[in-house]
Amino acid sequence: MRVVDIARAVEAVRAHCGSVAGVPRVATSGNFASPVTLLEPLLAELEAVRLHALNAQSSLPLHDGVVPETTFVGPGFRRHPRLSYVPCRLSMVPRLFQGPLAPDVVVVHTTTPRDGFVSLGLEVNVLPAAIDAARERGALVVAQLNPRMPWTFGDAVVPVDAIDLGVEVDVAMTTHTARPPSDDARLIGSRVAAEIGDGATLQAGIGEVPDATISGVLERRGLRIWTEMFSDGVLTLDRAGALDLDTPLRTSFVFGSAELYEWVHDNPRVQMLRTETTNSPAEIARQPAMTSINTALQVDLFDQANASRIGARIYSGFGGQTDFTVGASHSPGGRAFMALRSWHPRADVSTIVPMVDEPVTSFQHGAVVTEQGVAWMWGRDEREQARNLIEHAAHPSVRDDLREEARALGLA
């Protein structure tokens, strides 16, 4: 790795992209670890470019020549008129870099070097695969070297020889402050928590329901973490003594408070793994009592969930929901929970519907949980599944209509 200033890095990227046939593709860190200080001048020098980032935040600079490209739509790309959404399960995204989404430039946000290595810190995800693909095809790898990035272990550790250019910056890491769970979320979380026993493995994501669920399992012991991401809830579990101290905490990316970042820094118990490992259904299935907790925009009477689209508009994407639903269902003692409100507060509609009209994100869950109750799905025939959803998960105001729709669908 050669350390240069921003101007020289930008010039090197511009020269490299000038030799690319067609519109160059820049793959970069997403979520809350995007190297914005470097990306802003770099993208400004490229008249046309495809920018690939997962769950992009609003801080990413997008001039008129940038095509935002992703397999999981974040707030920075959502509703963008030039959005290029590529449907793909998160576990499969690394394969895209070897084929149809091969990167011409990879821009990552890392620590400063230590003994010939840097760490990808808070965001590992699909980046090792992007770096590997770049190395194989002679693409350019550029790192924003930041002393404030926490040092993490596992697949986060990258030899400096894998990076062409490094640019030193000193910028604060973006933090995330979770809102307190609503009353509905607390009730849903408590229902899920009641089904989690000692020694379970958790997919601990972010949001009101996961936060509320974690609040309900602080008295458990020997819990394990295998997830695509975690936030401050895992720190809360650790301080409560709920975690198995002999089992590493496995994840692919992290975002949360400055306190969380300080705890993650140089913590050997936290193992950051590549997405193709954390999201492999086979690896997930090997975890004891794997408990996945996901949410959706809609669930229908056939237990099909839509978590991706609102009408014809893409909202997010598959993400890891399919990977974890399948993996947890195959785990010894594992279960896949679908947790959501029975009524969508902003759209003012029921989230339990007769049949989803949009592409299905996941199906065959262990149970669907709302503030109304727990509707068990696994092992029930389709009529009992529909009946459980109507009686235990749906909002009371729509139950009669759903019963009529169930009869029309042959489910009653």
Q: Which residues are catalytic?
A: 228
Query: Residue 6 and residue 4: Cα distance in Å, rounded?
Result: 7
Query: Residue 143 and residue 140: Cα distance in Å, rounded?
Result: 10
DSSP letters for 160-218: GGG-SEEEE---PPP---PPPPPHHHHHHHHHHHTT--TT-EEE--SSHHHHHHHHTTT
The backbone torsions φ and ψ at residue 307, rounded to the nearest 5 degrees and listed phi first, read -115, 10
Query: Residue 323 and residue 89: Cα distance in Å, rounded?
Result: 7
- Determine contact, residues 343/351, Cβ cutoff 8 Å: yes
CA 207 to each of CA 99, 135, 190, 252, 256: distance values in angstroms, whole numbers, following the listed order: 33, 36, 14, 17, 11
Sheet of 84-85: strand order equals 2-4, 165-168, 140-145, 105-110, 25-28, 49-52, 66-70, 84-85
CA-closest candidate to residue 351, choices 334, 364, 361, 339: 339
- Determine contact, residues 106/238, Cβ cutoff 8 Å: no
Which tokens hold the place of 25?
Answer: 């593709």
Query: Residue 118 and residue 81: Cα distance in Å, rounded?
Result: 36
CA 297 to each of CA 73, 124, 294, 316, 358: distance values in angstroms, whole numbers, following the listed order: 15, 28, 11, 10, 10
CA-closest candidate to residue 252, choices 83, 397, 72, 382: 72
CA-closest candidate to residue 256, choices 199, 301, 302, 210: 210
- In angstroms and rounded to an integer, the radius of gyration of the C-alpha atoms of the chain is 22
CB-based contacts of 239: which residues, under 8 Å, 6+ apart? none
Q: 128: how many CB neighbours lie within 10 A of its CB?
A: 26
Q: 76: how many CB neighbours lie within 10 A of its CB?
A: 20
